[in-house]
Amino acid sequence: MKENLTNIIDEIIKGMLKDAGVNEEVTFSLVIPEKEEHGDFACNAAMQLVKHLKKNPKIIAEDIINKLNEKLKLDCTIAGPGFINIKIDVSWYAETVMNIINNEKYFHNNIGGGKKAMVEFVSANPTGPLHIGHGRGAAYGDSVARLLEMSGYDVLREYYVNDAGNQMNNLALSVYARAAEILGKGSEVPFPEAGYHGDYIIDIAKELLTTHANILEIDRKEALEICLGKAVQTIQADIDNDLKEFRVTFHNYFSEKSLYKNKLVESTLKELEKSGKVFEQDGALWLKTTDMGDDKDRVLRKSTGEYTYFTPDIAYHQNKYDRGFEYLIDILGADHHGYIKRMQCALECLNHKTESFKATLIQMVNLIQNGEKISMSTRSGEFIPLSWLINEVGVDAARFFYNMRSHDAQFDFDIDLAKSKSNDNPVYYIQYAHARVNSLIENANEKGIDYKQGQGLEKAIGSEEIKLIKNMVKLKYVIELSAQYLEPHKVSYHLQELAASFHSYYYNNKILNNEDVDTTCGRLTICEAVAVTIKQGLDILGVSAPKRM
RNA sequence: GCCUCUGUAGCUCAGUUGGAUAGAGCGACGGAUUCCUAAUCCGCAGGUCACAGGUUCAAUUCCUGUCAGGGGCACCA
């Protein structure tokens, strides 16, 4: 319906511009207004035309309405500075309700047009368990992927495993040193300065000693290799476990090592050189990113001959393009801030369109308990693990809370609120609305009401029902916007609104009524549509929709 | 110093990417349960949209500057 109207108005406008001899594109919006008295749809086209037609917007609006009425019988009024408010017939609402229930893809859209998109997220180094910062990235990334899937993108979720480089040496050394400590020879093997201090390293060392008690006696290089293997295997398994519990899945894990194995770093470097932006200075190899707006040039290969982390990362992104992806999304921690610009520069050098690469920064998470911040720091080993949070508040609350706020704002996660099983907690508020519908239907059966879906629907639709249905329809557009701007928190906000209007409707209207089966069926059908809508929305957020609470 | 995010009700935050009288939750205050789940609902109070300019039919939204807070800055990853 909205698409239909948009197209028709678009044609009318084009005609008007043509008549006036103006050769320009004019965009306008057609929205479902917040306020009931503003009609079912509102259009700002008249105001957009003011500049080009040089007429009073109200006169233009009248003109548009006349032309609109030639094609469709609609109830249009002019309001405010020149808005056109349009009222729709009840039958459209009835159709919509049935559509929501029966058409699984009602809330889908096709802004992706089948494009191959990759969402790369979490990508935590296998040097320690996931912490609450990763949790936010995981919840966000997973929901973004789901949004894109609903929006006609062909989505692949990928986890980039940094299993090469210096941090791996540190990890191996950390385990080695802890093993030595356990064996009482800690003084012979000092703990590395940049080592990992968390207790999990000690656990890994203990576990290692059960199979390799002689670790200190074998060749050091070989021993470190064993330590590393054990550590990565254990930690990655832990990470996978946490993610699984958090309902986050990946299609692919991409190993940094494989880049070297397949000589992708070298070949990418060669490609980069073709751009003419690569130069040598002080024995190191640089990329002239300042030519493209970066504030300093970046090193590709250190004077020691080693690559910086930057170069394999470029190769990795090149590889994404090579695999046929047309839309790359990186979800990164806020500390990667400087990284985005230089990656954009590098990809520009490789002749990729800037709009094909989007990097989103996830801002920090503070945990609040008893009104106070719990601090976290990876370096000191005092981070708060994601698994702890999940245990504490549950997956539903954790995932919902993470996506309750915009990703680019720092977020205070109130543990007490997330845990509370009360009306303060927005997760339960929404889930409760879903459960209520289910109990209504069960009660109808018990009361012996012969519920036929769709029966009496038009009869049941009054102004309160219309408000509810509008809120359902709106989710479709919220999803489209959320996908476009990668902002799943819009969905969580809208679900709260929808739940609120349902609770209010429920309280103010007796839905089950043996005396009037028609209206009862109609209302139940609408309620069912509400449940479907809420479930679709919760799915995006990775939150369950219980039938009973 | 440079980059970046943020500044909206007492608190935590939305605000459909420039639209109509700026919204919600919590908190405060006052109400609703012989009736489908009170994990609910209804009412009321609460605002210089940090500040100053600019762009235009229209600015909380875009631009410039100022102030305040968070995060970042490497031949680290």
Mean pLDDT of A90-95: 91
**What does the pLDDT look like over A247-295, one tens digit per residue?**
999 999 999 989 999 999 999 999 999 999 999 988 899 999 888 878 8
Does the CB of A443 fall within 7 Å of any strand B atom? Answer: yes
Q: Which of A312, A311, A313 is nearest to A298 (CA)?
A: A311
* Res A457 pLDDT > 70: yes
Has residue A533 got a pLDDT over 80? yes
pLDDT digits (tens, 9 = 90+) for A438-450: 999 999 998 889 9
CB A53 within 8 A of CB A60: yes
pTM: 0.93
Q: What integer pLDDT is reported at residue A96 of this predicted model?
A: 93
Q: Round to whole Å and give the CA distance between A448 and A94.
A: 25
The mean pLDDT of A143-150, rounded to a whole number, is 96
How confident is the prediction for chain A on average, in pLDDT? 89
| Residues forming beta bridges with residue A159, ordered by sequence position | A253
Give me the A residues in range 479-538 that sit within 7 A (CB) of strand B. 481, 485, 487, 489-490, 493, 496, 500, 503-504, 506-512
Beta carbon of A283 within 7 Å of strand B?
Answer: yes
The per-residue pLDDT for A88 is 84
- Quick one: pLDDT at residue A380? 41
pLDDT per residue as tens digits for the range A191-227: 888 788 888 999 999 999 999 999 999 999 999 999 9
The answer to whether A48 CB is within 7 Å of strand B is: yes
Q: Which of residues 402-421 of A touch strand B (CB under 7 A)?
A: 405-406, 408-412, 421
Given a contact cutoff of 8 angstroms between Cβ atoms, the answer to whether A534 and A476 are in contact is: no
Torsion, Cα A184 A187 A188 A189, to 10 degrees, reads: 90
How far apart are alpha carbons A374 and A387 in whole angstroms? 16
What is the dihedral sign for C-alpha A199, A204, A206, A207? positive
pLDDT at A355 over 90: no
Distance of CA A472 to the CA centre of its chain: 20
Q: Is the CB of A435 under 7 A from strand B?
A: yes
> With a 7 Å cutoff on the CB, does A303 touch strand B?
yes
Q: What per-residue confidence (pLDDT) applies to A377?
A: 44
List chain B nucleotides near protein: any atom < 7 Å from a Cβ. Answer: 2-6, 12-17, 19-21, 24-27, 35-37, 39-42, 56-58, 70-77
Measured CA to CA, the distance from residue A410 to residue A179 in angstroms comes to 39
Nucleotide nearest A404 (Cα, C1'): B13
- Strand B close to A428 by CB, under 7 A: yes
Rounded CA gap, A115 and A222, in Å? 46
CA of A142 to C1' of B59 (A): 35
Task: Point out the least confidently predicted range of A33-42, A181-190, A209-218, A452-461.
Answer: A33-42
Percent of chain A with pLDDT over 70: 98
Confidence label for A423 from pLDDT (cuts 50, 70 and 90) = low
Which residues 217-276 of chain A have a CB under 7 Å from nucleic chain B?
none
Judge if the beta carbon of A169 is closer than 7 A to nucleic acid strand B: no
- For the segment A74-100, the average pLDDT, to the nearest whole number, is 88
What interface predicted TM-score (ipTM) does this complex get? 0.92
Which regions of A229-378 does DSSP assign to beta strands (E)? 252-255, 278-281, 284-287, 298-301, 327-333, 357-362, 365-369, 372-374
pLDDT band at A338 (very low <50, low <70, confident <90, very high): confident
User: Which pLDDT does position A294 carry in this prediction?
Assistant: 83
Among A128, A125, A131, CA closest to A200: A128
Write down the pLDDT at residue A465.
93
As a rounded value in angstroms, the CA-to-C1' distance for A65 and B49 is 35
The distance (Å) linking the CA of A343 with the C1' of B18 is 32
pLDDT at residue A227 in the model: 94
Whether residue A378 has pLDDT greater than 50: no
Residue A337 contacts strand B, CB under 7 A: yes
Q: What distance in Å separates the CA atoms of residue A181 and residue A173, rounded to the nearest whole number?
A: 12
Angle at A292 between CA A286 and CA A297, to 5 degrees: 25
Residue A379's pLDDT is 37
Contact A425/A418 with Cβ under 8 angstroms?
Answer: yes
Q: Which nucleotide comes closest to A85 if you measure CA to C1'?
A: B20
**Tens-digit pLDDT profile for residues A472-502:** 999 999 999 999 999 999 999 999 999 999 9
Confidence of residue A422 (pLDDT cuts 50, 70, 90): low
Distance A401 CA to B27 C1' (A): 20
Whose CA is nearest the C1' atom of nucleotide B37? Answer: A436
Residues of chain A (453-482) having a beta carbon less than 7 angstroms from strand B: 477, 481
